[in-house]
């Protein structure tokens, strides 16, 4: 099985021993504490779950700047995006060494982790601007990732953490949320060695389904990990529970048994395009995947990135040998009226746009809201009906 990133064994920061965890949770209630941002809480979940192996805690300001600028920590570890705990006001923990980090996304703000503070540092406006530009390739405040990164403050708290729980993800998504170490164990039980990961924050239509099959066949893989983001998205995106139901129905009906693992991870979408694609590769390697499908405008938003920037970054900016995982690079996929099947557009050079069945997201929402059936060449009926119920419930709510 492929090794985790940076180590021979996975080192999740979740406190595995139940007695130790209970005692630390009790202690956390008495410690000086801070309600962290949603992004910092998600970083704790990812470190606790082993996805962000081999990190042992939140990065220093120097590491954050180095990672943003060069995709390496000051000690030389390859890492594509800063993993930080940034606040506006750290006065509640001033002078403290051991503090409780409280969860902003769970009622009552229970402690999600205990942190040993090694440094409290203020980033200058110039440093924030540099990191923003490097991570997101833009400083436009309308970019949702830029807005989120710059909206939480400029005081960086760094240090090792011990993670006490996985926020709301285990409770809200008991059948879907899995840690990196749980996925590695599941793949080992199934005897999978070559595994292709498909990243999604959206429901999967026929094109996505067939893209997974193409990668599975081309790579002669043992299995597919359909790995969905369960954290915060931008307004208008499909909620995780609806997406989860739609994907599960598609796999149940249309995929061969024991060829697909459906799972989710607890993280907020960055919309960082190329940099986020590399982060996706890092933590899929930590789950045991050997390949990541990187499609057109992977992890993008709006028109901030070129259609294949998330693919070319692996050639141009990721040093050879930095990662063991490889990429499976895809173009847009759609149903060909000429060939009567889903194809990658680059593989059909004789086709014109009208030779494909392709619907915009706006058109799909409009049709489903009105109760109109989507073409079966575009979406499986079982998937479309789940999405139709969701969009119609929104329409009813808007009229109420």
159-213 confidence digits (pLDDT tens): 999 999 999 999 999 999 999 999 999 999 999 999 999 999 989 999 999 999 9
Please tell me the predicted confidence (pLDDT) of residue 236: 78
Taking phi first (over 0 means left), then psi (-120 to 50 degrees means alpha), and beta for anything else, what does residue 108 get? left
Going by C-beta distance under 8 Å and a sequence separation of 6 or more, which residues neighbour residue 50? 4, 10, 11, 12, 13, 14, 179, 180, 181, 286
Query: Which helix or strand (DSSP H or E) is residue 198 part of?
Result: strand 195-200
131: its two tokens: 């990191």
Domains of the chain with bracketed CATH: 18-170 (3.10.400.10), 174-399 (3.40.50.620)
Query: For the residues 93-122, what does the mean pLDDT come to?
Result: 97
Catalytic residue of the set 21, 72, 201, 248: 201
Query: Which helix or strand (DSSP H or E) is residue 263 part of?
Result: strand 260-265
Q: Which of 5-19, 224-238, 278-292, 333-347 has the lowest mean pLDDT?
A: 224-238
Q: Confidence band (pLDDT; 50, 70, 90) for 361?
A: confident
Q: Tens of pLDDT along 3-22?
A: 999 999 999 999 999 999 99
Q: Confidence band (pLDDT; 50, 70, 90) for 232?
A: confident
CA distance 158 to 52: 15
pLDDT at position 399 over 70: no
pLDDT at position 400 over 60: no
Going by C-beta distance under 8 Å and a sequence separation of 6 or more, which residues neighbour residue 203? 238, 242, 243, 246, 247, 383, 386, 387
DSSP, res 353: G
Q: How many C-beta neighbours within 10 Å does residue 189 have?
A: 8
Please tell me the predicted confidence (pLDDT) of residue 181: 98
Please tell me the predicted confidence (pLDDT) of residue 307: 95
If we measure between CA atoms, which residue out of 365, 347, 367 comes closest to residue 356? 347
- pTM beyond 0.85, yes or no: yes
Please tell me the predicted confidence (pLDDT) of residue 258: 94
Residue 342: strand pairing partners? 335
Is residue 170 exposed (0-12), middle (13-18) or buried (19+ Cβ within 10 Å)?
middle
Is 201 an annotated catalytic residue?
A: yes
Question: Average pLDDT over the chain, rounded to whole?
Answer: 96
Query: For the residues 259-280, what does the mean pLDDT come to?
Result: 97
CB 196 within 8 A of CB 212: yes
Is 332 an annotated catalytic residue?
A: no
Catalytic residue of the set 202, 245, 248, 365: 202
């Amino acid at each position: 099985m492929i090794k985790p990133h940076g180590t021979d064994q996975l080192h999740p920061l979740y406190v595995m021993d139940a007695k130790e965890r209970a005692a630390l949770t009790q202690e956390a209630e008495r410690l000086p504490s801070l309600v962290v941002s949603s992004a910092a809480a998600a970083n704790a979940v990812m470190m606790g779950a082993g996805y962000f192996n081999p990190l042992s805690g939140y990065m220093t300001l120097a590491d954050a700047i180095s990672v943003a600028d060069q995709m390496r920590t000051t000690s030389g570890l390859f890492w594509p995006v800063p993993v930080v705990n940034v606040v506006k006001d750290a006065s509640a923990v001033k002078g403290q060494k051991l503090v409780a980090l409280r969860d902003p996304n769970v009622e009552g703000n229970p402690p999600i982790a205990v942190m040993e503070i090694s440094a409290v540092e203020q980033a200058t406006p110039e440093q924030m601007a540099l990191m923003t530009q490097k991570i997101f390739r833009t400083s436009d405040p309308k970019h949702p990732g830029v807005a989120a990164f710059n909206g939480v403050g400029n005081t960086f708290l760094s240090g090792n953490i011990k993670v006490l729980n996985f926020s709301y993800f285990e409770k809200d998504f008991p059948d879907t949320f899995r840690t990196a170490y749980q996925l590695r164990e599941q793949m080992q039980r199934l005897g999978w060695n070559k595994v292709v990961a498909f990243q999604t924050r959206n429901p999967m239509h026929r094109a996505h389904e067939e893209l997974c099959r193409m990668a599975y066949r081309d790579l002669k893989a043992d299995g597919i990990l359909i790995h969905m983001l369960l954290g915060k998205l931008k307004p208008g995106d499909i909620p995780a529970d609806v997406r989860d139901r739609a994907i599960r129905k598609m796999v149940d009906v249309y995929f061969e048994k024991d060829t697909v693992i459906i799972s989710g991870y607890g993280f907020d979408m960055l919309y960082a395009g190329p940099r986020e694609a590399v982060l996706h590769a890092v933590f899929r390697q930590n789950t045991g995947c050997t390949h990541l499908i990187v499609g057109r405008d992977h992890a993008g938003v709006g028109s901030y990135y070129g259609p294949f920037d998330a693919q070319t970054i692996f050639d141009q900016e990721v040093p050879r040998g930095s990662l063991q995982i490889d990429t499976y690079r895809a173009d847009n996929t759609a149903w060909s009226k000429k060939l009567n099947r889903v194809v990658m557009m680059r593989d059909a050079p004789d086709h014109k746009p009208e030779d494909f069945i392709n619907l915009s997201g706006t058109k799909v929402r409009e049709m489903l809201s009105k109760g109109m059936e989507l073409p079966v060449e575009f979406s499986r009926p079982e998937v479309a009906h789940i999405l139709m119920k969701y969009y119609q419930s929104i329409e009813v709510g808007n009229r109420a």
